[in-house]
């Protein structure tokens, strides 16, 4: 990987020449072949060479995608200059102990690799238009009105006139959550309120759409890091305390 920390860089890869500009693309390129590097006047470059076994290890751990070790001529260009600058600063920092410097460098390089292989976020405007936004708001309303018997994605697509891609990608981009993630959040919020109102766990589970109280308990515990029965007990204690006062 190589980065332009300042100025401009040109890399001749034989079949193609790539240009990296700090103030423009500030790109990182991952290559597995020879490259002739040219630095413009007053330019600074950071080059990081990584052994293939290190990439394979991170892939095996699930830190990087399985196909992270690309074919030799594969190039990736991303704006990662801020992270690269931080690594460069750590290299030049002589106040750190060698052990701490090594840890910081390894952490920074792993972070760079992760970001290098992350899929690019698709801009919202390239996914949906104004008509789609109206339909997505309709989809959101349908989810809110059907907590007990939610629609499937297929049903939601049919009711709103959105295709599967726009429904899933557009919903996440517009509301910051998936359709079913939003459904789960609404269910848990309502469940917490009903438990505070003194409703039993089984009653609340049925009200928010769970046929099995054990499944509801597991979902509630995962969301709030406490059992639903604990909320009920706390409310009983609180009500008793208020009555005593």
For 219, residues 6+ apart whose C-beta sits below 8 A from its C-beta are 184, 187, 188, 210
Of 117, 141, 163, the position where a domain reaches its end is: 117
pLDDT in single tens digits along all 245 residues of the chain: 777 777 788 877 777 777 777 654 445 555 555 677 787 888 877 777 777 787 777 777 766 665 555 544 455 566 665 666 676 667 666 677 787 778 877 887 787 777 776 665 666 666 788 899 999 999 999 999 999 999 999 999 999 999 998 899 899 888 888 999 999 999 999 998 898 888 899 999 999 999 899 999 999 888 888 888 887 666 545 455 444 55
Instruction: Tell me how long the chain is.
Output: 245
Inter-residue long-range contacts of 13-20, CB under 8 Å, 24+ positions, other chains counted: 13/73, 13/75, 15/73, 18/75, 18/77
The CATH number of the domain holding residue 238 is 1.10.10.60
- 71 shares its domain with 29: yes
Query: CA 204, 207, 208: angle at the middle one, nearest 5?
Result: 90
Number of domains in the chain: 3
- 37 shares its domain with 95: yes
- 106 shares its domain with 206: no
Nearest-angstrom CA–CA distance, 195 and 213: 13
Write the pLDDT tens digit of every residue in 57-79: 777 776 666 555 554 445 556 66
- 7 shares its domain with 83: yes
203 is in which domain, residue-wise? 182-244
Return the structure tokens found at 138: 């309709």
- 93 shares its domain with 136: no
- 33 shares its domain with 105: yes
Write the pLDDT tens digit of every residue in 154-195: 999 999 999 998 899 899 888 888 999 999 999 999 998 898
Nearest-angstrom CA–CA distance, 143 and 237: 34
Of 144, 159, 176, the position where a domain reaches its end is: 176
- 96 shares its domain with 43: yes
- 206 shares its domain with 160: no
Pairing mode of beta strands 2-6, 44-47: antiparallel
- 19 shares its domain with 43: yes
Nearest-angstrom CA–CA distance, 57 and 28: 21
- 80 shares its domain with 146: no
- 23 shares its domain with 97: yes
Of 117, 143, 162, the position where a domain reaches its end is: 117
SS (H, E, C) the chain: CEEEEECEEEEECCCCEEEEECCCCCECECCCCCCEEEECCCCEEEECCCCHHHHHHHHHHCCCCHHHCCCCCCCCCCECHHHHHHHHHHHHCCCCCHHHHHHHHHHHHHHHHHHHHCCCCCCHHHHCCHHHHHHHHHHHHHHHHCCCCCCCHHHHHHHHCCCHHHHHHHHHHHHCCCHHHHHHHHHHHHHHHHHHCCCCHHHHHHHCCCCCHHHHHHHHHHHHCCCHHHHHHHHHHHHHHHHHC
- 94 shares its domain with 146: no
């Amino acid at each position: 990987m190589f980065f332009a920390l300042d100025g401009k860089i040109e890399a001749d890869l034989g079949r193609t020449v790539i240009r990296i500009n700090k103030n423009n693309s500030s790109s990182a390129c991952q290559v597995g072949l020879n490259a002739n590097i040219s630095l413009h006047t007053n330019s600074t470059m950071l080059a990081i060479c990584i052994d293939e076994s290190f990439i394979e290890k991170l892939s095996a751990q699930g830190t990087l995608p399985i196909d992270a070790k690309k074919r030799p001529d594969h190039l990736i260009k991303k704006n990662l200059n801020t992270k690269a600058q931080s690594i460069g600063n750590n290299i030049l920092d002589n106040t750190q102990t060698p052990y701490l410097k090594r840890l910081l460098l390894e952490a920074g390089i792993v972070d760079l690799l992760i970001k290098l292989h992350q899929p690019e976020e698709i801009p919202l405007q390239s996914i949906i238009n104004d008509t789609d936004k109206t339909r997505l708001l309709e989809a959101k309303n349908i989810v809110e009105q059907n907590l007990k018997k939610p629609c499937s994605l297929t049903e939601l697509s049919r009711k709103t006139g959105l295709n599967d891609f726009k429904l899933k990608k557009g919903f996440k981009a517009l509301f910051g959550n998936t359709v079913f993630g939003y459904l789960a959040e609404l269910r848990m919020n309502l469940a917490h309120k009903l438990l505070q109102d003194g409703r039993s766990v089984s009653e609340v589970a049925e009200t928010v759409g769970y046929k099995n109280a054990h499944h509801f308990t597991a979902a509630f515990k995962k969301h709030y890091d406490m059992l639903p029965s604990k909320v009920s007990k706390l409310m009983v204690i609180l009500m008793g305390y208020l009555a005593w006062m």
